[in-house]
Chain A
Amino acid sequence: MSLPLVILPASGWKPPPWPAETRRSPEGLESFDLLAQGTAAEEALRLAVMRPGAVRALILAAASPPADAALVEHFAALKIPTLALFGTSDERVPPETGRRWRALLPGCHLIFVYDAGHDLAAERPEAFLDVVLDFLSDPTAFLVNRRSGALQP
């Protein structure tokens, strides 16, 4: 199932080219997926909490955990499938930040994007798109590889 993707960029961040419909705002959407980069994570969590049932899946890229503990608790209760990406060379939000996200949202999928810095979507766009589209194709079944491994028919 494909839903519109709402992208909440941190200031100064240019979202990568996307192969499907993207929005900057959830206005008028009944159901959507949400992508937040960097400091926009807090806004994404707040949006999900404000509109329960509207966010199908959340992707966080190089995101610092929000300081608002009550917000995180409310978000966790919604059990929205979440993918948290970190670049292995990110010096602003180092990959160890993933541990804090896992402590806040125990069910979230933590992914390290190898050899990428803070703007991981720009530095390794193919790797970023690949994992995000894979996740969005079925957020609840993300762990299972559904691609064919056959080299030849």
Chain B
Amino acid sequence: MKAALFSPCTYAGPTASSGWPVPTTVYSSAVAQQTFQTAIEQSRLAEDVGFDWVTVAEHHFTPFCITPNPMVLAGALTQVVKRAKIALLGANIPILNPVRVAEEFAMLDVMSGGRLVAGMLRGTPNEYVTYNINPAESRARFQEALQLIRMAWTEPEPFGWQGRYWQYKSISIWPRPMQQPHPPLYMSGSSPESGEFAAKNRIGLGFAVTSLPLASKASRHYRAQAAIAGWTPHAHDIIYRIPCYVAGTDDEAMDDLAAAAAAAVPRSVSLALSQGAESAIAGAGYYGRDEAQRGRVAALFASGTRERIEQGQLLLGGPRTVVAQIRRIHEEVGAGVLDLIPALSGAQALASIERFGTQVLPAVRELGT
């Protein structure tokens, strides 16, 4: 089992809390600056205590995640984190310029000395509002963008692209990716369509904002489809993202979490759109064949602490308890990379990262190897 530390870069101060997009009527530059410093500090510590990856991701117009271009933070991390891989999970490629994505990923791969992990995501439904893209086209745009990015990384001659969604006269990106033929790819695999596409194209799978039953079902589907395509995914081809807090003991962990929840500053962490907009996105076919995807996010935040642990939505406890929770995720989902979101902040987050690296990780290392 490999460990990744995710820096969601949740803005650390109070904000207005009215849906998405979130207004900036309450906003402090000093807090935003401190949020990035914290991400860098946590990533550095994670590497020091043995984490394998550090992770950044893309969201827009929200204090939930203030890295609308995660490439920028990843660029800073390449100079601070010297050994661990730099994972972008990911870029929302259907709403971006794929050539620019290929260029930025290639830069990061070179700047990190070949340590880039390239996650290609469709993005959460709200992101189709962000750059005014029709969500009905999200899968088709995703597939075209991915093929174009791969072509930009691997084709040595300048080429033009006559696509459905993108047209270019001549592309020849500099620099080239350091990893050959290109950095390892991951995509989100919650829906059956995504699992099939990933399996067919030999792309790794990532689960986030999920539950053990959902991820387990999707993982079985992915493996079955990969078998049809003639290959067997390794445990490291499956990433499971989950909030985590490791304390000295189980009781301490529960108490710290409860105290933090009680003291939390009011801030909007929802990416939910209005009901009408959400229905329009669902009606556009965004969720694909698996309608159960709808409302997953709400369900996650609605359940209590013990339910979240039971559902595989939270790692919480003393080191030994968390080891057992991880074994269960590994057994049920077959995941070989845990992407950990610090569940608490400040000194508690740092202490948890250190405990995870020194007391949990050594005990789960051998899983899936």
Contacts and interface: CB of A to CB of B under 8 A. Distances in A.
A32 interface: no
A110 B158 contact: yes
A113 B156 contact: no
B169 interface: yes
Interface stretch (B43-51, B160-168, B190-198): B160-168
B148 interface: yes
Nearest to A111: B160
Given A113-B162, A115-B164, A127-B162, A102 B151 contact: no
B161 A111 contact: yes
Contacts of A131: 160, 162, 167
B149 to A, nearest CB: 12
Nearest to B148: A114
Given A88-B147, A109-B169, A114-B147, A98 B159 contact: yes
Nearest to A109: B160
A99 B156 CA distance: 8
- Centre residue among A98, A111, A142, A143 by max chain B CB count within 10 A: A111
B144 interface: yes
B25 interface: no
A114 B160 contact: no
Interface residues of A, number: 22
Interface string A67-97: 0000000000000000001001000000100
A115 B144 contact: yes
What's the dominant secondary structure at chain B's contact region?
A: mixed
What's the dominant secondary structure at chain A's contact region?
A: mixed
Contacts of B366: none
Interface string A125-153: 00110110000000000111100000000
Contact of A112 (B156, B162, B164): B162
Contacts of A98: 155, 157, 159
B159 A130 contact: no
A110 B159 contact: yes
Contacts of B148: 114
A29 B163 CA distance: 34
Nearest to B156: A99
B171 to A, nearest CB: 9
B252 to A, nearest CB: 55
- Centre residue among B160, B164, B169, B170 by max chain A CB count within 10 A: B160
B160 A110 contact: yes
Contact of A130 (B144, B156, B162): B162
A105 to B, nearest CB: 11
Nearest to A128: B162
Interface of A: 85, 88, 95, 98-99, 102, 109-115, 124, 127-128, 130-131, 142-145
Interface of B: 144, 147-148, 151, 155-164, 167, 169-170
The 9 residue pairs across chains A and B that have the minimum distance between CB atoms: A111-B160, A114-B163, A102-B157, A110-B159, A113-B162, A127-B162, A143-B169, A131-B162, A99-B157
